Structure 1
Amino acid sequence: MEDILRPIYQERASQLNTLGILLVEKKQRTSQTTDSFDVILLVIVKEAEQPVYTKLYSYDEKKAAMHVITIEQLQQWLLLGTNRKIFEWLHDSKILFDRNEYIANLKTELQEFPFNGRKIKMGLEFAKLIRRYVDGKALFEHKQYLDAYNHVVHSLHHLARLAIIENGLHPELTVWQQVKQIEPEIYKLYVELVNSEETLEQRLELLFLASEFLIYSRTKIGSAHLLEVLSTKKYWMFSEIMSEDELRPYSVDMAVLLEYLIEKHLLEIVNLETKGQGVFHRCYRVSEKLS
């Protein structure tokens, strides 16, 4: 298989823009790791007109996909977790070409999972968790139980991913299998939500009560990255927070997260006068108890 595809990837390896080429083979007939393809060729480049470029091939009644991705896109996937399969591809792949040990170093970094990288990923998962939890609770209070259920399932998923990262591991596609071993309490909550014979309203009510403590117990570690950045200034306007490079990945979840941290006394409001009488700019600062 590798011999058949060699002319294709050797052409890419000869280009100075290419940093590494990986080969991922389908292990089982029913496996979806390779998106139903028999082989994935992952080509990592310094830069390109498109962040992701894909070509498909057929050979010997089999099919292959070649994904050419930029470093920037790869780092975004690794940080935000928006392409869950990329971790499996990097972990299970065979290195076909590696310029200046870029791929080897990347694999080592993923395996060691440095604490700073974990802190950022925990912050992003925590922000998504709070968004889903707050929205789900609001829907529950308005008796929109099916929509509330959808948000609660997602919030538990983010809580599970947060727990996995906290334990120094990368969340895999089989998140609940991981959580069952690492944090059985969260796994039990999920099972009770899905399998309980109670009414949906009763299940949701019990889950909100139980998950509130689990979320609160992770608030400090989940907000550590955000608070660390915000502590570099006396106070921040919301527009400044949203335009800060290191905080941009929080995007649409930021406003809800800030209000939650105020409620938990980790952030404080600073009101600055405007030209309008009695109207103030709403700014944020890290609580003096923490500074």
Structure 2
Amino acid sequence: MEDILRPIYQERASQPNTLGILIVEKKDRKSPLTDTFDTVLLIIVKQAELPVFIKHYTYQGNKAAMHIVTEAQIKDWLLLGSNRKITEWLLTGRIIFDRNEYVDNMRTELRDFPFYGRKIKMGIEFAKLIRRYMDGKAFFASRHFLDAYNHVVHSLHHLARLAVIENGFHPEVTVWNQVKQIEPEIFKLYEELVNSEETLEKRLELLFLASEFLIHSRIQVGSSHLTEIIGQKETWSFQELQSHEELQFYSVDLSVMIEFLIEKNVIYTNEIETKGKGIYHRYYSVKKV
């Protein structure tokens, strides 16, 4: 198989822009790892006109996909968790070209999972969790139970990913299999939501009660990245926070997360007078330790 694909990647390997090439093969017929393809060829480059370029091939009745991805895009995916397959491709793929041990060093970093990288990822997952949880509660209060159910399933998924990261692992494609071993309490909650014979309303009601406790118990780890940044100076406007290099990854979830943490007395608001009578600028701060 590699001999057949060699002409496709050989030219790329000779280019100084190419950092590494990996081959990922389908493990079994039902595996989602390769998006139904028999082989995935992952080529990591320093720079390119497009952050992701994909080409499909057929050979001897099989399918292959070539993914040419920039280094910056790989780092974004790993940080945001927006492409869950990429971690497994990097960890399990067979390295066929590695300039200056680039891929090998990336693998070592992925396995070690430095705490600071984990802290950012936990913050992002916590923000997504709060957004889904709050939206789910709002739909539930309006008796839109199916919409509430959709958001609750997503919130549990973010809670599961947060638990996996907190324990020092990267969330895999089969995240619930990981959670079953690491945090069986969260797995049981998910099973209850999906498999219970109670009415949907009752299932959601019980789940919101249980989720409240699980979310509350993770406020410290989930908010530590954000509160550390806020603690770097006395007060911040929301625009300053939103423009911060690391907080940009929180995207639209940042505002909801801040409001949630204000309610939990983790973040505090400061009012500063404007020129308009009775109107104040709203700034944010944390207590100095």
TM-score, structure 2 normalization: 0.98
Q: How much is the aligned-residue C-alpha RMSD, in angstroms? A: 0.9
Aligned 1:93-132 pairs, distance under 5 A: 93-132=93-132
Q: CA deviation at 1:29?
A: 2.1
Structure 2 counterparts to residues 79-158 of structure 1, below 5 A: 79-158=79-158
Partner of 1:169: 169
Are 2:30 and 1:21 equivalent residues in the alignment?
no
Q: What residue in structure 1 maps to residue 182 of structure 2?
A: 182
* 1:58 alignment counterpart: 58
The structural deviation recorded for 1:96 is 0.6
Partner of 1:192: 192
Query: What SS is found at the alignment partner of 2:262?
Result: helix
- Taking the aligned partners of 2:12 and 2:230, their CA distance within structure 1 comes to 43
1:92-120 CA deviation, whole Å, 9 max, x = no partner? 10101001110000001001111111101
Partner of 1:207: 207
Equivalents in 1 of 2:55, 2:242: separation in Å? 36
1:117-165 residue CA offsets vs partner (Å, 9 max, x unmatched): 1101000000000001111111111111111111111111110110011
Q: What percentage of residue pairs aligned between the two structures are identical? A: 67
Q: Distance in 2 between matches of 1:160 and 1:33?
A: 20
| Alpha-carbon offset, residue 75 of structure 1 | 0.4
Displacement of 1:281 in angstroms is 0.8
Residue 235, structure 1, aligned to residue 235, structure 2: yes
Q: Distance in 1 between matches of 2:202 and 2:107?
A: 45
SS of the residue aligned with 2:214? helix
Per-residue Cα deviation, 1:226-261 (whole angstroms, up to 9, x for no partner):
111111111100111111111001010011100111
Residues 200-222 of structure 1, C-alpha deviations (whole Å, 9 max, x = no match): 11111111111101000000000
Aligned counterpart, 1:5 = 5
CA distance in 1, matches of 2:81, 2:131: 17
TM-aligned CA deviation for residue 32 of structure 1: 2.2
Equivalences for residues 25-36 of structure 1 within 5 A:
25-36=25-36
Residues in 2 aligned to 1:86 and 1:178: alpha-carbon distance in whole angstroms: 17
SS at match of 1:50: coil
Question: Whole-Å Cα distance in 1 between the matches of residues 186 and 121 of structure 2?
Answer: 19
The CA distance in 1 between the partners of 2:147 and 2:56, in whole Å, is 39
Which runs of at least 4 in structure 1 moved beyond 6 Å after TM superposition? none
- Stretches of structure 1 lacking an aligned partner (at least 5 in a row): none
Structure 2: state its 5+ residue gaps. Answer: none
Distance in 2 between residues matched to 1:65 and 1:193, nearest whole Å: 37
Name the residue aligned to 2:273: 273
Please give the residue correspondences for 1:220-259 in structure 2 after superposition, counting only pairs within 5 Å. Answer: 220-259=220-259
User: C-alpha separation between the residues in 2 aligned to 1:276 and 1:203?
Assistant: 48
| SS in structure 1 at match of 2:269 | strand
Matched residues in 2 for 1:135 and 1:35: separation? Answer: 31
What residue identity is the alignment partner of 2:59? Y
1:42 maps to a residue whose letter is: L
